[in-house]
Structure 1
Amino acid sequence: MTRSNPLLAGACALAGLPIHAPALAQEVQDRAPTQTAATAADGEGASPERFALHGQATYVVQATPSFASPYAGPNSLTPNQARETVDVTLFAGLRPWAGGEVWINPEVDQGFGLSNTLGVAGFPSAEAYKVGRRSPYLRLQRVFLRQTIALGGSREAVAGSANQLGGARSTDRLVLTMGKFGVGDIFDTNSFAHDPRGDFLNWSAVDAGSFDYAADAWGYSTGIAAEWYRGPWTLRVGAFNLSKVPNGETLESRFGQYQLDAEVEHRHTIDGQPGALRVTLFRNRGRFGRFDDALSLAAQTGDPIDTASVRRRQTRLGVAANAEQQLGDALGLFARAGVADGSIEPYDFTDIDRTAQLGMALKGAAWHRAADTVGVVAIVNGISRDHRAYLAAGGIGVLVGDGRLPHPGAEWIGETYYKFVAARGIETSLDYQLVVNPAYNRDRGPANIVAVRLHGAF
């Protein structure tokens, strides 16, 4: 395990909080659900916020004991290890004019995911970036402008939170967001499974695993998105820069390689309880490699198989569906399913061509802990026949690659967590995941993965 960094303790001390919990005093969601940070106050109404500061700190330690590992490749999950991550984020927002908001999110990160964030397509911690470092480092993860244009309808209040100024807005509105932010801030949101700082940790629970969204190695991109709200419907479209190389640290700057996204959402009520349905499409355009081309070239030359050797400009498509439904005051259900073109390599997210998940989140009112939450999700991830053949021939993907794959199988993941709210904005979570056939390999695992998460926010 990497050593705990004094950064977290320092953040707590500055906030005047005990060191045994991460700093800060009020819960905020960094990954914006549709009804909050993905939309914005339009600056009208009584006393709209003109300026706001919020912050968060999250510490995760995750471990896996021994499991079957008869052989290993460069991207294999290894048994008997523990790793930690910590991130501290400041959310600073300003309203320069009516309907406008400017936000910056400087963040300090430190730590590593299990096996340096390798070995499982549905990786077990979305708090672990693809870039791990022993020493804390500072990055400006988001800097963006949001403009909201009222189009009529009734008025509704908007509470201030991270990346959202409080005020009021029209139910019918146009929202434009431009700059550097996360594709997941706008697309494929879900009230019960979209925030690794507050709910599920697994990558393929936080987002549809097949949604190969544009991002640098930290999960952010530059681009523009538009949202049109009309009654119970919302239409979203966006254009974002892909990274310069797959899974890379540097983004394209002029849409030389890019992603186009579109999403339609319908909000509804059933027996007075809210729910939503979303369908999301993506189109990636850039230099990608086909698995069959890589297999053919390796057979001809005898060289190690690698999609990098056959990359050319082409298009990769995918679609995902996303549903959530509240059932009473305490219970919420959610589901996702997605598929992407499995003949072409995934680029910026992870090695998943098709995925499905079903889960629930239950508040603790029944045991007199109304603010606590229990979450449970079951996930199955899969890849195409060509993708399996590529890995079997020794190919390496974004996150997976055991050097061979004689006995392929679907990757099954079960995750459950209990979130204990000690006080407003101070939380401790216990998380357990069972990963069957990690990296689609029936020779490996199953892996039992446990985690403790400390989160504080104001």
Structure 2
Amino acid sequence: MGRWDEAIAAYQANPAQNAANCTSFNYDSENSSAPDLCWVRKANIKTGIGINVKQQLIDGVGVFLRGMVSDGKTEVYSYTSADRSLSFGGLIGGDSWGRHYDALGVAYACSWISAGHAEYLRLGGVDGFIGDGNLRYRPEQVVDIYYKLRLLPSAWMTLDYQHIANPAYNADRGPVDVYGVRAHFEF
């Protein structure tokens, strides 16, 4: 994996080593005025730690807290571009309103990227998930509310709403509201 600072330094030392001229995998970037990780990929060590805590408070009510921190020096190959994140929320079972198999969930998440990662994106770089030619950095924040509705003994539908502030860590983007419907069937 490539390091953000090395990709920036390679581009500054030789602007011909840009995203458009990369001959190996570069996340399909064609930006000739941006650094690219393809020029500096090598074996690197990425360090980090995560925590996940779930607790039932009373019957049918639970809360969770999750957090992670990585060194933020290298490109990310997991679910998101985050170098640090914190999320918490709760779940209430439907017994409270007479719907035993239903559930209501609410969560908040905030994630950050490192200064080197932000600088790489600000200069027009693209990582595995984001990059659009510029960045006015702000932490990404998400509020998620969902309702799981049991339709039949073997079928559920979940209605979901997410409000995303500063999507892709960019204050010039969003906020974005995302509505979703999921179906779950058991056979």
Q: Shorter-chain TM-score: what band?
A: 0.7 to 0.9
Deviation at 1:394, TM superposition (A): 0.4
Q: Report the Cα distance in structure 2 between the residues aligned to 1:383 and 1:328, rounded to whole angstroms.
A: 36
Q: Report the Cα distance in structure 2 between the residues aligned to 1:438 and 1:348, rounded to whole angstroms.
A: 17
Q: Which of 25, 35, 41 is equivalent to 1:305? A: 35
Distance 1:367 1:349, change over 3 A: closer
Deviation at 1:418, TM superposition (A): 0.3
Deviation at 1:291, TM superposition (A): 0.5
Q: Report the Cα distance in structure 2 between the residues aligned to 1:348 and 1:428, rounded to whole angstroms.
A: 27
Q: Does 2:150 match 1:430? A: no
Secondary structure at 2:102 match in 1: strand
Q: Does 2:19 match 1:290? A: no
Matched residue, 1:421: 150
Q: Report the Cα distance in structure 1 between the residues aligned to 2:182 and 2:99, rounded to whole angstroms.
A: 18
Deviation at 1:329, TM superposition (A): 1.1
Q: How many residues align?
A: 170
User: Quick one: which amino acid aligns to residue 346 of structure 1?
Assistant: V
Ranges of 4+ aligned residues in structure 1 off by more than 4 Å: none
TM-score by length of 2: 0.88
Q: CA RMSD in A?
A: 1.0
Q: Report the Cα distance in structure 2 between the residues aligned to 1:331 and 1:347, rounded to whole angstroms.
A: 34
Q: Which of 168, 172, 180 is equivalent to 1:443? A: 172
Q: Report the Cα distance in structure 2 between the residues aligned to 1:348 and 1:436, rounded to whole angstroms.
A: 21
TM-score by length of 1: 0.37
Q: Report the Cα distance in structure 2 between the residues aligned to 1:437 and 1:335, rounded to whole angstroms.
A: 22
Q: Report the Cα distance in structure 2 between the residues aligned to 1:382 and 1:451, rounded to whole angstroms.
A: 25
User: Quick one: which amino acid aligns to residue 377 of structure 1?
Assistant: A
Q: Which of 179, 182, 185 is equivalent to 1:453? A: 182
Q: Does 2:53 match 1:323? A: yes
Gaps of 5+ in 2: 19-33
Deviation at 1:363, TM superposition (A): 0.6
Equivalent pair of 1:349/1:398 in contact (CA under 8 Å): no
Q: Does 2:81 match 1:368? A: no
User: Quick one: which amino acid aligns to residue 297 of structure 1?
Assistant: A
Max Rg structure: 1
Deviation at 1:296, TM superposition (A): 0.7
Q: Report the Cα distance in structure 2 between the residues aligned to 1:451 and 1:335, rounded to whole angstroms.
A: 23
Q: Report the Cα distance in structure 1 between the residues aligned to 2:79 and 2:145, rounded to whole angstroms.
A: 23
Q: Report the Cα distance in structure 1 between the residues aligned to 2:43 and 2:2, rounded to whole angstroms.
A: 9
Q: Report the Cα distance in structure 2 between the residues aligned to 1:415 and 1:340, rounded to whole angstroms.
A: 24
Q: Report the Cα distance in structure 1 between the residues aligned to 2:185 and 2:163, rounded to whole angstroms.
A: 27
Gaps of 5+ in 1: 1-287
Deviation at 1:300, TM superposition (A): 1.4
Matched residue, 1:335: 65
Greater share of residues in helix: 2
Deviation at 1:349, TM superposition (A): 3.2
Q: Report the Cα distance in structure 1 between the residues aligned to 2:121 and 2:83, rounded to whole angstroms.
A: 14
Aligned ranges 1:192-271 → 2 under 5 Å: none
Deviation at 1:447, TM superposition (A): 0.1
Greater share of residues in strand: 1
User: Quick one: which amino acid aligns to residue 339 of structure 1?
Assistant: V
